[in-house]
């Protein structure tokens, strides 16, 4: 049996992180939560099995996009999913930033699960 797919969720809102995690876990994913960019980088260094990094665009010290750049600079090649507010991001800016996908808040859980699954398929990570 293959191990479950692991997703890293990055959001400074602890309650929101837990809600994302609970929804994803009910669909069989293993989740890791980070509340800061530094924490996300540390977790990623320790957990090579992370299949997608999912981050809010707005984090307290560095933006979600800056975090994704730091992840790339640290040598991690991992697909990314960005959570944004309405009108904050476009498909063109996602392509330019190398973001695999983005979701505009408010996020309905079926949409979250659909996009996660699509990113895994795009990257041949689906199990």
Partner 1 sequence: MDTARTILLVDDDPTLSTVLAAVLRSGGYTVLTAASGAEALELLRSQSVSVVISDLHMPKMDGVALIAQITLNQLTANARPIPAVLITGSGEFEDIHANAPGVDAILIKPIVRDTLLRTLERLLASVQDKDIA
Q: Write out the residues near partner 1 by the rule CB under 8 A.
A: 13, 15-16, 18-23, 26, 83, 105-109, 112
Pick between residue 19 and residue 62 the one whose CB is nearest to partner 1.
19
Closest approach, Cβ 46 to partner 1, in A, equals 24
Residues 31 and 16 sit within 8 Å (Cβ to Cβ): no
Strand order through the sheet with 30-34: 30-34, 6-10, 50-56, 80-84, 101-104
Residues 10 and 59 sit within 8 Å (Cβ to Cβ): yes
Closest approach, Cβ 60 to partner 1, in A, equals 17
Pick between residue 20 and residue 89 the one whose CB is nearest to partner 1.
20
Closest approach, Cβ 21 to partner 1, in A, equals 8
């Amino acid at each position: 049996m293959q191990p479950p797919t692991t997703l890293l969720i990055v959001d400074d809102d602890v309650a929101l992180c837990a809600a994302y995690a609970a929804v994803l876990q009910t669909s069989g994913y293993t989740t890791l939560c980070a509340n800061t960019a530094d924490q996300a980088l540390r977790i990623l260094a320790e957990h090579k099995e992370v299949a997608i990094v999912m981050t809010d665009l707005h984090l307290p010290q560095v933006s979600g996009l800056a975090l994704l750049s730091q992840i790339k600079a640290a040598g991690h090649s991992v697909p990314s999913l960005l959570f944004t507010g309405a009108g904050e991001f476009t498909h063109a800016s996602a392509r330019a930033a190398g973001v695999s996908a983005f979701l505009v808040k408010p996020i309905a859980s079926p949409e979250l699960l659909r996009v996660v699954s699509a990113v895994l398929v795009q990257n041949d990570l689906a199990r």
